[in-house]
Amino acid sequence: MMPEMSDTIARLLRIHGRVQGVYYRASTVQQAERLGVHGWVRNRADGSVEALVQGTPDAVQALIDWAHQGPARAQVERVEVSEAPAEAVPGFTQAGTV
């Protein structure tokens, strides 16, 4: 269940490094579901991964913290985080490359 929109924050993440082909998107979906956050994750044509993460401040921060490491085979160089408008997005999905 999505938290009330007034209790929800949203962040757009850009994850750089060796983050494609290492199960990063699928692992992000698993972490998001575990934390109860909503949004999506997708590969970018430049080799980065982008994610829209929204939920309670604590849950969003927990996913941001996890994103700095990612799954075992990932080598994260940096994570850029910016504010984003919260939207009524059900669940957390893996989207196609843009």
> Residue type for 87, please?
E
Q: Is residue 18 flagged as an active site residue? A: no
From the list 43, 44, 73, 78, the catalytic residue is 43
How many angstroms separate the CA atoms of 80 and 60, rounded?
14
Name the active-site residue from 25, 34, 44, 78.
Answer: 25
11 catalytic per annotation: no
Strand stretches in the chain, DSSP E: 9-18, 38-43, 49-55, 75-83, 92-94
Catalytic residues: 25, 43
